[in-house]
Each structure stands twice: as structure tokens, then as C-alpha cells.
Amino acid sequence: MPDFDIAVCGVGAMGSAALYHLARRGLRVVGIDRATPGHDGGSSHGLTRMIRLSYFEHPSYVPLLRRAYALWHDLEQAVGRSLLHRTGILEIGPAGGPLVSSTLAAARLHGLPHEILGAHALMTRYPAFQVPTNYVAVLQPDGGFVEAAAAIAAHLALATANGAELRIGETIAAIEPRRDGVRIVTDRGAIDSGTAIVAAGPWATKLLPDARLPLRVTRQVLGWFKPLDAALFANGRCPMFLLETRHGLHYGIPLAAEPGLKFAKHHHAEETVDPDACDRTVSARDEALIRAALAEHLPAANGPMVAANTCLYTMTPDGDFIIDRLPNAPRVIVTSPCSGHGFKFAPMIGEILCDLVSTGSTAHDISRFRLSRFED
């Protein structure tokens, strides 16, 4: 008999959620991670992550997000504190640009509440922004942020309360599929389980070298800026925002949630890195890449950079997630809700993984996330 029904390899955003849902259903589950949850070496650390319901990436994500919102609420009830804060979100860009047009398409298809603001109306209501006259903004009332580190801690606390075992500071050396299960070889020995869930983010390809996963790890830089006019970014004066300009796609989280205005370029420099040998130093060039859009479109925020950090995106070729069993090792499930937009889905991904393990299927439509789409 194996030691556990399921071994979860990596307990960041997705792994911690999976651990909780599996333990909650009474399965014997262990979570393994070489680093303490909340560490800043991967993709899940930090105070906040943005959440939004109308999804420019593709309308098919909206039903998954609706379930994610419900599960975030359930998690809040279970842990007895707020984790998801609805502040509204602005998605700003040229009227016919990808961000605005795709956001509107998703909102209209799914009947989501939203308001369209022209450039003048945007700058009148939210004077922090300076945009060209051909820009528009889509305001979604359901947008906001999730407390990232607190969410992972909540999932792990509830998982262990429901009987899950946590092995932190234990490094996985190999994942070995077998006829009747999976052996996880670590620096402390071996763990036998019926199924393995690999939720290792940037380290997925290293843990599964023979799977040839189509993943690429990129280095991202985030900055926190002290506004020149802090009143424009105070609670209620400026919601979360996405901003598409000639400088690229940027995102911001105002002062209500962070020590300064959090501002970063989505897909910072597309620099492919090794997660174990990544330069974590934030350079003057990094700051300049972020600050160009800040100076032009949020001049009142263009003050000193008071903090900076790096994180990693694990990119698929098409920007969509991977949630699937390995074709030649069906007892190994890979989950990589990645490409820089996955955190908000975490509790729903945990539910999906639990479904796949406990019943073999899920009611959620995850056809978009199959590995087979890369076969050609």
C-alpha cells in the first residue's frame, strides 16, 4: 500500500489549494516543497494579486472565474478573514486595441456588469491618468485583488487541519511513475503515492525532464513607487488597473493594498532564465522599462521607487494553462496555471485537481488546457 493517496509536489498557489481540497475530501495527501511557503524565488509570493471577471485573455475563462470567486468566498468563511477585496478595475487602452476589445467581448458574451469611459470621462473621474483622446476604459465593478501570501497560508492551514501532511525543506530529486503509483525520491528518502500532482511552477520541467513540457521561464520585475500626489491613489480614488500603451501592457495596484503604488510591465523583458540561476537584482534598465509608461500616463505616481522585486512567469507557447495527465504516465498530473495570470484561479484549480484524482474527471471545462494541443 502506498504511503499516501496523492503527493503534491510544490505548495505555492496551486499546490496549496489542491492540498486543501484533497484533504477536505478525506484523501491521504502529502505536500512537498523545498522552500518555505511564501518564499520569493518563484511565482506565488507577495502581498497581492489582481483578480477580474471579464477576461481579455479568452472568454472561456469567465465561467472558471465565477467558480473561483465563489471558492475564494468559501475560503474566507472557512478561515474567518477577508482575502478577496473588490475595488473595481479599469482596463485602459486604444478603443480598438486587444485589451479593450477583448475585455468587452468577454463582458458582453457573459453578460458581465461593466461601464465604458471615454478618455475625457476617465481622466475626470480618475485624474491620476493621462491618456490620448482615442483611449477608452472598461470599468468592471467586480475587479480587485487577492491577498496572495495570506491565501496560501489559509489553504495550507486548512489542509493540515483536515489531515494533510506537509514536508517543507525537502527537495525532490526525481518523480518516478510506476505501474501501481508514483515514487517521489527526495533528499530524505522516498515517498510512494497513488498519484502525483506536479505544481512546481518554474521547476516543473526540471522535475519532469522526460515529459518535454512546452514551458519557458521568464524573469519579471515589479516596482513600488511613492506618488508625487498620494491623494490621487488613496483608497477609493483609483482602482486596480491594466494599461495598454505603446510601452506595452502594464498593471497597477494602488496604495490601499500596497506600501506604494505597485506598477509593473506584464511580460517585462521576455528574458528566459533558469529558476535556480536567475539574477534577482533590479537594474536601472529594469526600472526604466517600468517607468516609461508611468511617467507618460500616471505622472502623479512618478516619484521615487521605494521597493522592487522579481518573480518568475512560467510561459506556455499560447499563454493558456496546462492541467493534464502525462500521456505516458497517467498517474502524474501536471498543473501549470501560468503565463502570468494564474493566481486568481487557485481555489478553482485546486477543486479541479481534486476532481481528477477522486473521480477521474471534472465538471469544469478544461479542454483548453490539454497537453495534446502542443503535439503538432
Q: Which residues are catalytic?
A: 45, 48-49, 262, 266, 311, 344
User: In angstroms, rounded to a whole number, what is the distance separating the alpha carbons of residues 242 and 258?
Assistant: 16
User: In angstroms, rounded to a whole number, what is the distance separating the alpha carbons of residues 372 and 369?
Assistant: 9
10 Å CB burial of residue 133 (0-12, 13-18, 19+) is: exposed
| Contact present, 39 and 230 (Cβ < 8 Å) | no
Task: Provide the residue type at 374 as one letter.
Answer: F
What kind and span of H or E run contains 144? strand 144-147
User: In angstroms, rounded to a whole number, what is the distance separating the alpha carbons of residues 352 and 365?
Assistant: 10
User: In angstroms, rounded to a whole number, what is the distance separating the alpha carbons of residues 140 and 305?
Assistant: 28
| Contact present, 165 and 30 (Cβ < 8 Å) | yes
**Tally of residues, the chain:** 376
The residues with which 192 forms a beta bridge, in sequence order, are 183
Kindly give the residue spans of alpha helices, DSSP state H, lying in the chain. Answer: 13-24, 61-79, 98-110, 119-125, 148-161, 204-207, 284-297, 346-358
